[in-house]
Amino acid sequence: MEEELGQIIEECRIAVEDPGYPAIHQWLEDNPDGKVLGHFQVYFPEEIAHAAGMLTLKMMGFDSSVQIREADAHIAAFVCSILRTSLEQGLSGRLDFLNMYVTTPICDAARHISGVWTRRFPEMSCQILYLPQNAASPHASTYLVGEYRRIAGIIEEITGTEITDEALRASIELFNENRRLLRELYRIRRETPWLVGLTESYLLMASGGAMPRERHNELLGRAVEIIRSRDRRPQDKVRVVFEGGYCEQPPIEMLSVLQDVAYVVDDDFMIGLRWLTEDVATSGDPMENLAVAYLEASSYSPVQRDPRKPKEDMLLRRIRESHAEAAIVAAPKMCEPGLEEQVAYDAALTEAGFPHLVMEFEEKTANFEQARMEFETFAESLLFEFV
Amino acid sequence: MEPHNVAIRPALSRAGNTREASRALMSDWWTQLGEADATAAPVANTFVMGSLAEVLNAFDIPMMFPEIAALQTAVKGKSMDYLLAAEDIGYSPDICGYVKVDIGLHNTGREHPLGKYPKPAMVVSSNMCNTYIKWSETWERQYGCPVFVLDLPGWRGTGFEYSSTSETFRNDVKYVEGQIRDLIDLASQVSGKKFDIDKLREILGRVNRMSELYQAILAMNKNRPAPFNALTEGINYMGIANILRGQPEGVEFMETALAELEERVAHGVGAVPDERFRLLLVGTACYTNFREFVGMFERWKGVFVASEYMSFAGGGIDRGVRYDLDRPIESLAEQILITAQPSMSGIFFSHEWQARMAEEYDIDGICYHGVKSCRTTAAGLPDAREWLLNNANVPGLFIQSDLVDSRLWAEAQMRNRIDAFFESLQSRRVQAGV
Amino acid sequence: MLVAGVDVGSTQTKAVVMTGDHEILGRGLCPTGAQLAEAGHTAFSLALGETSFSEPDVAFVVGTGYGRFNISFGDAQVTEISCHARGAVHLFPNTRSVLDIGGQDTKAIKVTSDGQVIDFNMNDKCAAGTGRFLGAASDALEIPLGELGPLAMTAKNPVQMTTTCTVFAESEILGWLAKGRRVEDVVMGVHHSIATRSVALLRRAGIEPEVTFTGGVTRNSAMVEMVSQFVGSPVNTNEESHYCGAIGAALYALDQVLTGASAERGMPI
């Protein structure tokens, strides 16, 4: 069983780490006329594209396996790594298979992606999806449904496939299953964190953005089953929440360093894949259901404004619900919203008297000694405190 | 006439030219804000892009523009004091300097070099800049004031155009109009005043007029020599357009400014003596070393005849605001989407605009000034520069510094790049046989 | 008739004395140090010393480089961007792209056939991708600058530097050594990193052959090799490349003397 799990995780690792996107190319081989939609962080309603038979690729950055050669010539020096890496992937031709690229204006730097891509790839349909930033407004859902229909119209044009309600409902069901499995995986992390490593869990989760969801459901379903049946004993490790991975991701090796010293019982890595926190209804108008779910049954991040979800309250809730003893409040280097939110998180956690570590990371880091030292010192200080 | 308007009015008559007038009006603005603070009258914090001054003015709620206040600290050589105070409490060196100056001010007794820096009673924010939202949340946390975020769907891609009948436009207008109505309720609550639609109508009428005048002012620089420098006087025009949007003094100021420019044109007076190079500024100014920065261009007799800054930071006033006074609220929603919103979205797709400006204003080169503080205006500049050079044969200079963070100013490097750029413009001219 | 060009760079000052027939009669080189004016004069005197002439024989001196405004005996100043462009085309007439990796600035220049600048790109304020990055490596490893190139050439498995910050370069270098990587592999990694960023600057305006590599770093064989590799074809260098900026300055001085055209050539006199 462990061997089978090892194979599953290896498949996930390749999907996440290989800058050549093997899982996408495999799908294109199997579907020679298939179309691919790329979307930048954080959230995109992939169901809409899926309903038209399109494959979606959630844009991730890469560690030092992708070297920046071209991208720096197109973007100012003071932007985060994921923006440069994803642009590098485009400029180096590795994303030539994309038929459509959708970005959402998550931050001031990311708002430039569409312009740069349009100038570099005039043939590609680069669309900006304006997700509501006044999410609590009573007018937001009507607006969002209209916006989803607009995007759906473009997808229909590109694929030549009409997005019927039935097809959309079926896609929602598939993604509901995916979300259910991810919730399961995270429940294991919260309840019995010794059963699954952070890097295993991360790869299992994040790979959903870079392979067909049908395949991901198979892998994830089987993996959750095997993990649950593992016979492992808890170790004396502190339980922490990791916050700050909503867009750019830390390098896997850093997560590996972290799991050596702590149980990470919850996190916001690739939160867009888990943005909708409940099953999306399939009865009624499915497009409306998707829009309402985005606004009403969703997670949080520094780049969505919703006064009903003050971020520090949400973080404290995440901590409480996972019974964490401490939090790591990280932000990617040069990530303005992340760095801004970090100050608020720091203040709220300090006020609540909750131990936490504030740090920066970058996907391209190759030297983890400093991170190891920080994590170890932090964990030791906690263990010492609780003796 | 409302009392604060009376207070501002004498400024125009005592000023001999628009430069002094703008200084006097700015000073009156600070006086007004100081008085509001002293009497605990509600002040709204708002931003230059999407200020919704129309609505706030309809309730006589004085507006603080923290962006303007922040740049003023830099001009006064004080920005680092506040900025470092914010870094002391955990704000990263990589965060927008405007935000940090403001946070520093709020955490060190609210003493601005030009007057008392008031506490906000409410905030009108928008997605025009994502940092606006994060910034507003700091006041929400500190003062518990209501934060209204005007959400404006922008261009959905390059070449995006609204047609008044398109489904997207109708969908967006409905959303924005709903939000404006929510803001009217909020402003009424905060000010304790009833909404007066006729008053709004008057204000909208004056914005129409100001916009017309502002457009005429911009067009004056199609003349050779250009009568004003978009980097210096242009910023004054823009500042007044923001703080007095829809006010009688705003209209009057624009009229005076236009008349002054017409006179300069009639007499062939240029902003820079013996104008030799006509430039377009893309990006923002550098306020920590403003005079040196301007001087590096003027030394070469280069004049900024136009700037993208005067567009996006003017809240769309350059795009011809034409409110329909018969249906004020609906029209406000529509015009924001047609004028203010594209002035922001346009930043990301501004290569075509730049090419057009280069033609219309007979521009020799474009100066792309990226400031670390503002990813909104700066992140994509290198790409746009390359596009213009290769697709429109307009040479561009890419330089970087900051709005208010003097640590990012490197004089020797700046001067070197600027000198080299002018040298290359000169060679181009020699080769073209001009 | 003689002219001179003096290039006061951030680390070294170079001077050449040139005849009206473009013949270089003398060269001078000295460290810049803190006294910019003095360095300019020293280099100029050294160059003159190689000739049988003295200062009054030199009709026109153009200063360039960071310290160009400190050259009190100079008659005009031109930026090193224009001078490197001019010098490169003079040394290699088919030059269309010029790369100069300087002490605190790296310049990528696109030029016309007569050495005029069409476009140029430089590093941002931070010194990533400049010669200073090599200096940081030299300090961290306690290996003289001049030995870094030959050492790098022996690398078999270069590391990939991830930091672009000169300040952090030192700690990353030490980090790689702590991981057990060989010194030459780390040094080659540093070269690789600088070359990558420098060639990225060239790409901003599009790399048009031939590419001429100028400045002091051209004496570093590993860097020439790396730059050629990333450019995709061999880049021009020769023993005069080091003096390219000063040569360009002298050519501008000559223009002035011959045609009085300096103002038209780009000198704000």
Spatial distance between the Cα atoms of B114 and B26, rounded to a whole number of angstroms: 9
In the predicted model, is pLDDT for residue C163 greater than 90?
A: no
Q: Residue C128: is its pLDDT beyond 70? A: no
Confidence of residue B11 (pLDDT cuts 50, 70, 90): very low
- Contact flag C162-A365 (C-beta cutoff 8 Å): yes
Residues in chain C with CB shorter than 8 Å from the CB of B395 are 118-119
Q: What is the pLDDT of residue C126?
A: 64
B-C contacts at Cβ under 8 angstroms: 72
What angle separates helix C166-178 from helix C183-204, to the nearest 10 degrees?
150
Amino acid of residue C241: S
Taking the CA atoms of B196, B208, B235 and B375 in sequence, report the sign of the dihedral they define.
positive
Rounded to the nearest 10 degrees, how much is the dihedral formed by the CA atoms of A231, A232, A234, A236?
Answer: 170
Contacts of B52 in chain A (CB under 8 A): none
What's the average model confidence in pLDDT over B327-335? 97
**pLDDT given for residue B15 in this prediction:** 42
Q: At what angle do helices A213-228 and A165-191 cross, to 10 degrees?
A: 30
Give residue B4's pLDDT: 41
Task: Give the pLDDT score at B289.
Answer: 96
Tens-place pLDDT, residues B423-434: 999 988 887 776
Question: Closest approach of chain B CAs to the CA of A204, in angstroms?
Answer: 32
Tell me which of A32-36, B7-11, B68-72, B228-232 is least confident: B7-11
Residue scoring higher pLDDT (B379 or B11): B379
* Chain B nearest CA to C15, separation (Å): 19
- The reply to whether C126 touches chain A by the CB within 8 Å rule is yes
Contact C124 B389 (CB under 8 A): no
Contacts of C230 in chain A (CB under 8 A): 69
pLDDT score, position A387: 41
Q: What pLDDT was estimated at residue C203?
A: 85
Cβ atoms of A210 and A16 closer than 8 Å: yes
Distance from CA of A165 to the nearest CA of B (A): 20
pLDDT for the residue A138: 94
Q: What does the pLDDT look like over C48-99, one tens digit per residue?
A: 999 999 999 999 999 999 889 888 888 899 999 999 999 999 999 999 999 9
pLDDT at B192 over 50: yes
In C, minimum Cα distance to A69 occurs at C200
Check CB contact under 8 Å for A119 and B387: yes
Closest residue by Cα to residue B295 from B154, B171, B414: B414
Name the percent of chain B lying above pLDDT 70.
96
* pLDDT computed for residue B433 by the predictor: 74
Residues 6+ apart with CB under 8 A from B2: B60
Does A73 contact C201 at a Cβ distance shorter than 8 Å?
A: yes
pLDDT of A370: 82
Helices and strands: H and E segment counts in chain B:
20, 10
Query: Which pair of structure tokens corresponds to residue B133?
Result: 């939202």
What tokens were used for B427?
């060679």
Q: Is the pLDDT of residue B10 over 50?
A: no
Work out the angle at residue C3's Cα, subtended by the Cα atoms of residues B433 and C8, and round it to the nearest 5 degrees: 95
Distance in angstroms (rounded) separating the CA atoms of residues A200 and B20? 66
pLDDT of residue C185: 94
d(CA C149, CA A85): 29
Q: Which two tokens stand for residue A53?
A: 């038979």
Q: Residues B158-167: what's their mean pLDDT? A: 83
Helix, strand counts (H, E) of chain C? 9, 9
Residues of C in contact with B298 (CB under 8 A): none
Smallest Cβ–Cβ distance between B299 and the set C79, C104, C268 belongs to: C268
Distance from CA of C100 to the nearest CA of B (A): 14
Q: Which of A317-326, B17-26, B87-96, B221-230 has the lowest mean pLDDT?
A: B17-26
Q: Which amino acid is at C153?
A: M
Q: What's the DSSP call for residue B339? A: I
pLDDT at B134 over 50: yes
A-contacting residues in C 22-81 (Cβ below 8 Å): none
As a whole number of angstroms, the distance between CA B420 and CA C212 comes to: 19
Tell me the residues of chain C between 129 and 188 that have a Cβ less than 8 Å away from chain B. none
| Strands across the sheet containing B365-371 | B302-307, B277-283, B365-371, B396-401
Average pLDDT over residues B392-413: 93
Distance from CA of B431 to the nearest CA of C (A): 9
Q: What is the pLDDT of residue B427?
A: 87
Contact of A304 with B127, CB cutoff 8 Å: no
Give how far Cα C209 sits from Cα of A72, B169, C111, C243, Å. 21, 49, 11, 21
Looking at the complex, does the CB of residue C160 fall below 8 Å from at least one CB of chain A?
Answer: yes
Q: Which of A128, A134, A346 is closest, CB to CB, to B155?
A: A128
Separation of alpha carbons B33 and A338, rounded Å? 32
Minimum-distance CB partner of A346 among B90, B130, B141: B90
Please tell me which residue, B368 or C269, carries the higher pLDDT value: B368
For range B70-76, the mean pLDDT = 97
Find out whether C143 and C151 touch, Cβ atoms under 8 Å: yes
* Chain-centroid distance, C-alpha B61: 20
C-alpha torsion sign, points C78, B228, B403, A86: negative
> Do B424 and C120 make contact, defined as CB atoms within 8 angstroms?
yes
pLDDT > 70: percent of chain C: 93
Number of A/C CB contacts below 8 angstroms equals: 39
- For the record, the structure tokens of C220 come out as 């570093």
| Beta bridge partners of residue C16, listed in sequence order | C5, C27
* C-beta atoms of C162 and A73 within 8 A: no
Q: What is the mean pLDDT of the segment spanning A180-207?
A: 98
A-B CB pairs within 8 A amount to: 176
Chains that touch C (3 or more CB pairs under 8 A): A, B
Question: What is the residue type of B196?
Answer: D
pLDDT of B13 reads: 45
pLDDT band at C201 (very low <50, low <70, confident <90, very high): confident
Residue C146 tokens read as 């001049």
CB-nearest partner of A367 from C175, C197, C230: C175
**Three-class SS of residue A370?**
helix
Instruction: Name which of C155, C162, C156, C166 is nearest A65 in CA terms.
Output: C162
C119 touches chain B (CB under 8 A): yes
The tokens of A11 are what? 């498949």
> Is B427 part of the contact surface with chain A (CB cutoff 8 Å)?
no
Of all residues in chain A, the one with the smallest CA distance to B149 is A134
Most confident by average pLDDT, A318-332, B7-21, B155-169: A318-332
Q: What is the model's pLDDT at position B6?
A: 38
pLDDT tens track for C9-40: 988 999 999 999 999 999 999 999 888 889 99
Cα A114 to Cα A120: distance, rounded to the nearest angstrom? 10
The answer on pLDDT for B414 being more than 50 is: yes
**B162 and chain A in contact, CB less than 8 A:** no
Inter-residue contact C7 to C79 (CB < 8 Å)? no
